[in-house]
Each structure stands twice: as C-alpha cells, then as structure tokens.
Structure 1
Amino acid sequence: MEDVVQLFDKVDQNREAMVDTWKLLVDRDCGSGNKAGVDGVGRDVKDFLEKCGFKVWFHEYEKAGNMLVAEYGDASKPFIVLTGHMDTVFGDGTAAARPFTIKDGKVTGPGVLDMKGGVTILLYAVRFLLEAGYNRYRIKIILAGDEEVAHGNSTASADYEKEAKGAVMGFNLETGCVDNSVVIERKGVAQYLFEVDGVGAHAGNNPEDGRSAVEELAHKILDIQAETDWQEGTTVNCGVIAGGTVANAVPEHAWVKVDVRFKTTAGMERIEKAFQKIAKKQYVESTTTCCKKLVVFPPMERLESSEKLFERAEAIAEKYGFPKAKAIAVGGGSDSAHLTACGIPTLCALGVRGQFNHTEREWAEEESLFERTKLLMALLSEL
C-alpha cells in the first residue's frame, strides 16, 4: 500500500470532487420525517461505495429512513466500523431555501455540519485507501436513516448493535468540534410527553365548573424541572408546551414535551420513577395526567479502551502534524452509544468542524473536510 503522505496527496488532488459530493448530499431535503429523501441519500451513498468494491445492503423500515450497511475485505480479518447518519433535523423546502454555499471558507446549508460533511469524509477516506491497496482491516460502514429522532419509528438501534458486534474499534464521523476535540463519552437522551385532561367550561358564564388543565400542568412543569441534578449529570428541559383553545374557555387539555439528558442508568431510573410520581400527583381536582415515554437513546459510555484508543490516535495525529486534540464528554447523543454498548472502543465527532448544528446558523469549516479525511486515513493505516 502507498505510504500515508502519498494518500494525503490524493485528497489534495480531489478537493473539487469532494466538495461536489458534499454539495450533492446537502442539497436534498432529508429530514428524519422524509423517508423518500433519506432513502435517496442512501442510494447515492450505495452507488459511491459499490464503485469502490463494497457489498451494500439496507435494513428497511416502513416509517423511517433505511439503514445502510456496507462491507469490504477479507471475512477472516477483524473489522472496524465507520459510522454516521444520513438524516437531518430540517423540514421539507429547506434545501431549496438555504442551499449549499461556500463563502470565505465557511460552508452553509441544511446538515452541512450534522452530518453530510462527515459522510463525505467517510466516503473519500475509504475510496482513497482502497485505491491504494488497503487491507489492514475489514471495513464495515453503518449509516442510519433516523438517528436524529433516536430511531423511534424503527428497529435501527437493535439492528445497529447486531451489525457492529465484534468490531475491534469504531469511528463516528459526527459533527466535529471547533476546538478539535474528540468525543469519547456522551449522555443518553430520553423524551417524555405529559398530557393533562381537565374539565372545560365557559370562562365568563360558568368558570367555577371548569378544571384547568393548563393550571395543573403549570404546577407540574415546576416539579418536572426540579428533577435536574447537576451533580448526577442528569438534566431536564420542558421544551414544548401547549394547552387550551381560546382565551375565554377554561382549558380542557394541555401537554408538555420533556427532554432528559442522563449520564448514568441510575440517573435515568430515578427520573422514570419521579416522572410517574409527578403524573399521579394532583394539584387541581378532577384533572388527570398521563406520562408517556417517547424515546430513549442510551449513553455513550466512557470505556477505558476508548481512552487508550484516543491516546494512540493522538500520537498518530501528532506524527503527521495535525492539530492537537483533547478527549471530551458532551451532552448530545449519537449512535456511538451502540458501539460502546457492545464494548467497542470508539472515537466520535471526527467529522468536519463547525458550529450551531440543528439551527439556521449551522456552518462548517471547508478546510476541515480535507484535513479530517487525511486524519481518518492516517488512523486507519496505523492504528
């Protein structure tokens, strides 16, 4: 196989093609709810990987974007996992309204950072490696189609772990940090829905007959928020609230959607018990409250083997002059959780660097596309 520095030259010689692929992946509506759009991304990725010699297949889902799995190499060799996701958080029409744009080295567009840039890095890193005769490990690629909604409408979580089990190490090309940090630990994510039923009434003629669902929910929101435990690493956020119909009616229904981030299983178990207790408590007579768990995304556990993998990776990065990194823990979830659940040492956030993912201000650093592609090739060549 060609040496690593020669591989870097391939990146420099193909900058335009890499940007074109990045643009292709961004300029298509593929929010988690747009199965057709996500599956379209999957077909583009499939075409690219099959030209590189990969065997590609999909786990297909009725109500979610399909999961792409691709494999290359000798089945008798140990394998590594390269992973990410193809969906974004943005609604239909966003790609046309805010298309892929480069200005002064900053790239904008829906999902340009989270995580079409990372998918582009993955594709070109394996292409250049295989063209150079790479055969160190068998390579398995797993790209989810519904990561942004925590696989709530599919069996992707279970399918992911079945595909990844047995890997010797994993690399997730998720959103890169502007300070070049590498993620080795992530909090788990859960979402709950509290629904309150009261008794409706006319606010002028017979308000005494009403039982306000909004009033009941207002009390409970304070109780829900109070379950945050900073020391434990568990945070609670009542993020979306609705209730009532018109101002001159006592509201009969109200609801709140709650986000929970947790560092440990024990913290999640505490929240579950507390939320059920809050739901049963009654402030306004004749009201009832139901608490439903919508999704649960497990934490990416900090493994000792991940710490050691980072140390080895940092030594390789230093050898080739890449910017110094540090290993960090973050609150946002990712499919790296499924890798560490299988005991696989994993480095996450190896994608393009940038800020403000999940917002209209999302941007990525153009140059980091090329730098991070070189870094991934160096890691796969020498680890």
Structure 2
Amino acid sequence: MKKVSLSFALIMAGLGIRAQDKPAPKYTAEIKTIADKPAVKKALQTIIDFEPQTLSNHILLTEIPAPPYKESVRATQFAAMLKEAGVDSVWIDNVGNVIGLRKGKGGKKTVVLEGHMDTVFPEGTDTKIVHKGDTLYAPGVADDTRALSVVLTVVKALEKTGIETDADVLFIGTVGEEGQGDLRGVKNLFSEKGPGKIDSYIAMDGWESQGITHRALGSHRYRISFNGTGGHSSYNFGFANPHNALGRAIHYWSAAADSLSLVPGVRVTYNVGVIGGGTSVNSIPFESWMEVDMRSESPERVAGMDTLLQQAVRRALAEENKMKHSGSDLTVTVKLIGDRPPGSLDSTLPIIQRMMAVIQFEGATPKLTAGSTNSNIPISRGIPSMTIGCGGTGGNPHALKEWWVNDKGAVAIQQALLILLAEAGIAK
C-alpha cells in the first residue's frame, strides 16, 4: 500500500487544513441518534457489503475518458447507472450535468450530493486501469471518478434498506469542475436553467475523509497573447518579438507577485501554468501566449494579484515596442478564462457541525480546510455547503500516474450517507 506523497501533504497544509475543536454536543447527539436507527445501521452495513460493486463501478467509470468539455460518453453511462441504482428520474441538463432525483416525503427542501465527471486530461489519454497489488493507477482514478462510485453506492444503500428522506435529494455528476471548465456545471445548477432552489450542497472531491472544505479559494485565470507580424529571424531582425514581451511580462509579474505573496495576511498564490507560440527556431514568432492563475480566500488579494499582472503586461508590451528597429508594433489580448468566487461559511453552521460530528462518530478528527472546488459557488452565495472526501488513499492528482488504494474506503461512503440523512432528514 502506498502512502500520501509529502508534496501533496504540503500543498494541503498550505491551503489551510487545520485541526478544529469538537462539534457542539447537540450535533454529536443528532448524528448518533441517526446512526443508531435500525434501518441506518443496515444501510451502513450494506455499504460494506457493496464494496466489490463500488470498486467495479469505480473502475468502469474511470476507464471512460472524460476530457475537458467532452464528458458526454461518461455522462451517458453515469446516467444509466444512476437510473439502475433506483433514483426516481434522471436527466442530462443543457450543459451536460447528470442529475438524478430521489423524491422526499416532504419535498420542501432539496439537498445535493455530487461528484464531478470531468478530468484534466486531454482527449486521447489512456485511462485504462493498471493494477499493481492493491493500488489502482489511471488518470482521474482519484480525482474525481471515485466520487461518482460513492454517489451510486449511497443511492443503492438507501434503496436496499428502504430509507425515505424528508427532503428531495439530487444525486449529480457535474461537468467542468477542472481547469478552464471554470465550474460551468455547478454554475449552471445555480442559474435560472438549473433544477430549482437548492437548500444544501455536498460536493465530494479528493480522498481526504477527515477534511471539510467550507472556505472557498477564489481565483482569476487568464490567457494572455502577444501578437505581431512575425518574420525571418535574420532578414526581419529588429521586428518586435512576442516571445521577448512574454518573457518580460512573466518576469515583471512574478517579481511583483512574489513580493505581494510575502505580505502578512490571507494566503495568496500565483502561477504561470502554460506557455506557447512560435513556429521554428529561425522564425520571429507571430504569437506568444501564456495561461496564468492566481488564488486566495480574499477577494482583495486576488484583485491585487490581478492588478500586478495587468501592469506587468502593459509594461512588457511598451518596452518591446519601444526597442524594435522596424516593423509594426505588437498588440496584446488579455482574456479572462476562469473566475471562481471566494467565500467562507462559519464553522458553527449546522451542515459543518454535522459533518464534524459524522467524522468524529467514525472515530477520526475533523479538519476544516480551504479549497477551490464545486462548492465555491454555493459557498459564495451563502448556501449551506461544503466539499468532503471520497475516502481511501491516493496520490499524484492531475498526473498520468495518479493512483488510489481502497484503504478503508467504505468509511467515507458511510460518512456521505450519514451527512446526507442529517441534512435531508429521515421521513417518519
């Protein structure tokens, strides 16, 4: 069995994971009361009994590629599996989200349990599972295909034990959580084209079964492109060079951004993630571009990073145009390709307290975290929401050698069931 890499542990520490006080006694008592009900005890055991099927579903869905903006094949399969699991109705919405409705007895409240279907990997990536002992290797095996198998097992556990909720429950597989997807799936859920008012939102992402993400890292993401006429490296020597401008912009922004990141206060990060352009070694490029990212829980800190980026781009453009010997000036386009709102929910909110009590009931210590996930949208709107882990152990997220091990993975599924029942209520 593998252990979580130090690098990932450090990343999560940097995002603000910290041990918290115990939940209020009333929530501890509430969760115990729910867990002690005979039907719920049976459902918790059913989750354990379903382990082989959960793993089979996990593998099946992982091996269906779901590259950015091309999740439809996986969506079709997930929709069929949700219907087979026993929800009352299933549909795929206008952006590609799979939504399964399990009606409640009261129907005055709607609760969501969700995992995202998309991965970061481009079309053509081999997603076939490779087994090495008890470890599963495949792109997207942990982030976030595991969540889809968890959602299916929760539905099946409810159906097999006949547990009815008071609230309506939407079991959802979303599109567009990763990268330039810019949370388009969950944004659509909360738009006028969504399924209606959502009162409580539980996203599942990653494997950390003790974590509760209730603070949303906001981010701005840009694609910046310097453009010129291009030309022969010798014959047209002296033309303005987009690569030169891009290099200056990266230097000026990183120097200023690093200084801002060291200013005491809420953590803020910046990154140049992708660069491109040029046609050959002996050609002046006609285009040079980059995609950048900045994140913080503080909208003011994100705005500060954004301002430094804009200043760096303008300075780089002006300097390159000033030093050219001949030819036309460069131009630049700055396109916002990602805007995730920040936000924070107080840890005393019932949904957070209940989840802390659930984790404690399972014998672990809850940890409140910050992150950039689908729950950014409901958190930013003040809707009771959070992101919780899918269990097991994993590593190398967003890498070709991403891996996952079923290390007590059923615990996270049991936790998902308990928090769902606490939020949706058990019908009398």
- Normalising by the residue count of structure 2, what TM-score does the alignment of the two structures yield? 0.77
User: For the Cα contact (< 8 Å) 1:85–1:144, is it kept in 2?
Assistant: yes
- Structure 1's unaligned 5+ residue stretches are none
Distance across 1 between alignment mates of 2:67 and 2:55: 21
35 and 17 in structure 1: CA distance in 2 versus 1, 3 angstrom threshold: closer
User: For the Cα contact (< 8 Å) 2:79–2:90, is it kept in 1?
Assistant: no
In structure 1, the partner of 2:369 is 328
User: For the Cα contact (< 8 Å) 2:203–2:375, is it kept in 1?
Assistant: yes
User: For the Cα contact (< 8 Å) 1:161–1:342, is it kept in 2?
Assistant: no
Distance across 2 between alignment mates of 1:112 and 1:75: 37
User: For the Cα contact (< 8 Å) 1:117–1:369, is it kept in 2?
Assistant: no
In structure 2, the partner of 1:100 is 129
- Alignment partner of 2:279 out of 223, 226, 245: 245
| Structure 1 residue 128, shift from structure 2 partner | 0.8
1:78 equivalenced with 2:109 (yes/no): yes
Which residue type is aligned with residue 233 of structure 2?
A
In structure 2, the partner of 1:356 is 396
In structure 2, the partner of 1:47 is 83
Distance across 2 between alignment mates of 1:81 and 1:256: 36
1:20 equivalenced with 2:56 (yes/no): yes
SS at 1:20's partner residue?
helix
Map of 1:1-383 to 2, 5 A cutoff? 2-49=38-85, 52-61=86-95, 66-72=96-102, 73-74=104-105, 76-94=107-125, 97-132=126-161, 133-151=163-181, 157-161=187-191, 163=194, 166-177=197-208, 180-208=210-238, 210-225=239-254, 226-228=256-258, 229-230=260-261, 231-281=265-315, 282-285=318-321, 286-299=329-342, 301-304=343-346, 308-319=350-361, 321-330=362-371, 333-353=372-392, 354-382=394-422
Which shows bigger deviation, 31-40 or 184-193? 31-40
Distance across 2 between alignment mates of 1:348 and 1:297: 15
Distance across 1 between alignment mates of 2:387 and 2:182: 22
| Structure 1 residue 89, shift from structure 2 partner | 1.6
- Map Cα deviations across residues 71-103 of structure 1 (whole Å, 9 max, x no partner): 222353322111121111223443xx4522444
SS at 2:114's partner residue?
strand
| Structure 1 residue 247, shift from structure 2 partner | 2.4
Distance across 1 between alignment mates of 2:405 and 2:349: 27
Which residue type is aligned with residue 69 of structure 1?
I
| Structure 1 residue 154, shift from structure 2 partner | 5.7
User: For the Cα contact (< 8 Å) 2:226–2:242, is it kept in 1?
Assistant: yes
Distance across 1 between alignment mates of 2:383 and 2:195: 8
Distance across 1 between alignment mates of 2:183 and 2:201: 25
User: For the Cα contact (< 8 Å) 1:305–1:345, is it kept in 2?
Assistant: no
| Structure 1 residue 192, shift from structure 2 partner | 0.7
Which residue type is aligned with residue 352 of structure 1?
G
- Map Cα deviations across residues 321-357 of structure 1 (whole Å, 9 max, x no partner): 3332211123xx2111122133222231321342221
Distance across 2 between alignment mates of 1:338 and 1:48: 30
| Structure 1 residue 213, shift from structure 2 partner | 1.5
SS at 2:363's partner residue?
coil
348 and 161 in structure 1: CA distance in 2 versus 1, 3 angstrom threshold: farther
313 and 232 in structure 1: CA distance in 2 versus 1, 3 angstrom threshold: closer
Tell me how many residue pairs correspond in the alignment: 369
- Structure 2's unaligned 5+ residue stretches are 1-36, 322-328, 424-428
| Identical pairs, percent | 20
22 and 368 in structure 1: CA distance in 2 versus 1, 3 angstrom threshold: same
161 and 83 in structure 1: CA distance in 2 versus 1, 3 angstrom threshold: farther
- Map Cα deviations across residues 183-212 of structure 1 (whole Å, 9 max, x no partner): 22231233211111235343334523x222
- RMSD over aligned Cα, in angstroms? 2.7
| Structure 1 residue 312, shift from structure 2 partner | 2.8
In structure 1, the partner of 2:28 is none
Distance across 1 between alignment mates of 2:109 and 2:93: 23
- Normalising by the residue count of structure 1, what TM-score does the alignment of the two structures yield? 0.85
